[in-house]
Amino acid sequence: MQDVFTAPGRFYRGNLHTHSDRSDGVLTPEEVCRRYRAEGYDFLALTDHFIGIYDYPIVDTRPFRAPGFTTLLGAELHSGPMANGDLWHILAVGLPEEFAPGNAPHFRAVPGQETGPEIAARAAAAGAFVAVAHPHWSGLTLEDARSLTAAHAVEIYNHGCHTGADRGDGFVIADLLLSEGRRPSLIATDDAHFTEPDHFGGWVMVKAEANEPEALLAALKAGMFYSSQGPEIRGIDITKTTVEVQCSAAVTVIVQGQATAAVAVNGQSMTRASIRRDRFAASPWLRVTVIDAAGRRAWSNAYWV
């Protein structure tokens, strides 16, 4: 896979998980788009709950596109129980408007409905970028995650679940899948409803040649992005002996790998860090975390080495 930091194009900032008053958010789709545009986002996916009580919405946000700001159509899909009996939550960005509803009248599982893996596979076949939503908040098991074979990504940071439940992290599931040989990308999102401070806290920086839905969607599926709460990752170069990281001013740079493999470099206003690979000799993958002085993080996707 081509390296995101050397690929042609530029980085575009976007949020992939957002709700409006078409489901359980409080703002109109137009106002949600206005606020993200006003905050400097380049793109937004409005992903209202695709469920019967809300009339299975795939909200048409195309009228709210503007120069320098675009939208991706999508929804948060629900169908079938997870191991804990709760309904699946599956993020699907880039859905066609005609995507057929399943049998999900409400937020409880009903007999005969599609399973989570089945509706995820149907969304991926329709062209969507599919992600496991808020695994910690959902109580997702590793067996659940293994079953969702159509997912492109795992939500490793969900700002709304962080602020509202202190369950915003998804790295346990993501790292276990990576260590089993699965190759999910890692996304940070808001899951904004605007009912609490659940917005503008986590996003993806997507490398594409144009801020257009088709280009952004292709880049997402190819893993051409990193995720952030604020810091910038400007380059990652993996040599035979080191991992070389370039970033905005940071106090900590960490390289993580399989199992207990992790090494941190600490300092003040660091814009470069070099971490030896000795600790990662047995790890088939590496990823990078950058932390700034305010405690905000940026995360790379996994590199297979």
pLDDT attached to residue 101: 96
pLDDT attached to residue 32: 98
Instruction: Check residue 175 and give left, alpha or beta (phi > 0: left; psi -120 to 50: alpha).
Output: alpha
Q: Which domain holds residue 251?
A: 233-304
DSSP string, 163-222: HHHS--B-HHHHHHHHHTT---EEEEE--B-SSSS-SSS-EEEEEESSSSHHHHHHHHHT
Under-70 pLDDT residues of the chain: 1
Q: Is 123 helix (H, G, I), strand (E, B) or coil?
A: helix
pLDDT attached to residue 289: 98
pLDDT attached to residue 162: 98
CATH of the domain at 32: 3.20.20.140
Kindly report, residue by residue over 62-94, the tens digit of the pLDDT: 999 999 999 999 999 999 999 999 999 999 999
In a domain, 4, yes or no: no
Tokens of 159: 């700002």
| pTM as predicted | 0.97
Q: Is 127 helix (H, G, I), strand (E, B) or coil?
A: coil
pLDDT attached to residue 1: 59
pLDDT attached to residue 2: 76
Kindly report, residue by residue over 166-212, the tens digit of the pLDDT: 999 999 999 999 999 999 999 999 999 999 999 999 999 999 999 99
pLDDT attached to residue 271: 98
In a domain, 47, yes or no: yes
In a domain, 104, yes or no: yes
Rounded to an integer, what distance in angstroms lies between the CA atom of residue 39 and that of residue 1?
Answer: 32
Tokens of 19: 């709700």
In a domain, 5, yes or no: no
Look at residues 228, 260, 283 and tell me which one is the last residue of a structural domain. 228
Residues 62 and 207 in one domain: yes
